[in-house]
Amino acid sequence: MITIKDIAKQAGVTYGTVSRALNDEPGVSEKTRAKIRAIAEQMNYVPNLAAKRMVDRSANCIGIIWPKFEGLFFYRLSERIQQEASGRGYRIMLSVAEPEDALASFQEHFIDKVIHWVYAEETASFAAAKQSFHGTILEVGYRPNGHTFCLEIDRKGAVCKAVRHLAELGHRRIAFLGARTDKLVGYTQGLVDFDLEYSPDDIVITKPSDPRMEHKIAAFLDKTHPDRATALIVDSQGLMFEFAKMANAANVRIPDQLSLVCYDDVPELHSMLPVPITTVGPNVDALARRLMDTITEQDGRESDRFEQIVESVLTVRQSTQAPSPP
């Protein structure tokens, strides 16, 4: 049986564009509408009325495939997406199941718009599930190989902004606490761009699941001036929670002894230390709006190709200042 997805592939447009064209909905040019109708006629497309009734009931629902991380950023973002969706007349179905299982569930409920936060390499089973999915999948975070409908978060550029901010305050030795990701690449690129001092001792590779995380943080905090860097970039709010507890216990004064920047901006960071923490990363409110604008195709998109980068925002608070004199 010929489906709307077959017509979309033949016409070189999205599933949503075909649906709007065949149902006389706005958002499609007359030229594209005529082309789609001609292809549908050539392929002897017959609408499945029973399925259409189900789709009509579910068309205002968007599926979200979320990582299993217990992070406040994802909690805050999902909260804002829900608010944005509700204001636009949409409902949200969120899943933290394996991506292929989540897609299968969405398909069973005739949900044809999905936001997928990419947090791991794509598996063969998920690639197959995407091929058989009758709808639109917006990949967010990293840009998957070969995928052309995505919003990429510029994590590398974000950390580079943090390095710039600290360098402009006068810091020459800036440390990094986090995992080996593109955030670390942004850190090292920032050191090069601003001609800053580099020391392997200033890079502490760890994450909350690392059994030696506390030992590594303690070793960094035990250093005294001038052995310790004057500023530190922490690559996630989850790691910042652990660092803040240990910094308080070690009586490290922020920012007098150590300026601090954290990737991820969530309200909880404002009260974690005696001073609010300077942050860098995507703005949660703006990102939620951007995701909803994109997945609902308010831009009248008629092509499968859509690749954009989400820039990060540096929010300066009281945890950063010029380094204290020796």
**pTM of the predicted model, to two decimals?**
0.78
* pLDDT tens column, 101-146: 999 888 878 888 899 998 777 888 888 888 888 788 899 987 655 5
Percent of the chain exceeding pLDDT 70 equals 89
Instruction: Decide if pLDDT at 192 tops 70.
Output: yes
Instruction: Decide if pLDDT at 27 tops 90.
Output: no
Amino acid at 11: A
Average pLDDT (227-235) is: 94
Does the fold of domain 155-282 match that of domain 1-47? Answer: no
- Of 231, 234, 237, which is closest to residue 184 (Cα–Cα)? 234
Q: CA-to-CA distance for 158 and 283, rounded, in angstroms?
A: 11
Domain ranges of the chain: 1-47, 155-282
Please give the pLDDT value at position 112. Answer: 84
Average pLDDT (146-160) is: 85
Please give the pLDDT value at position 44. Answer: 83
- Of 82, 116, 71, which is closest to residue 262 (Cα–Cα)? 71
Q: CA-to-CA distance for 59 and 243, rounded, in angstroms?
A: 44
Q: Which CATH architecture group holds 155-282?
A: 3-Layer(aba) Sandwich (3.40)
| Higher-scoring residue by pLDDT: 268, 181 | 181
CATH class assigned to 1-47: mainly alpha
* pLDDT tens column, 50-98: 455 545 555 688 999 998 776 788 889 999 999 999 998 899 999 999 9
Please give the pLDDT value at position 108. Answer: 79
Please give the pLDDT value at position 147. Answer: 56
Q: Return mean pLDDT, the chain.
A: 86
Please give the pLDDT value at position 17. Answer: 82
Q: CA-to-CA distance for 203 and 185, rounded, in angstroms?
A: 12
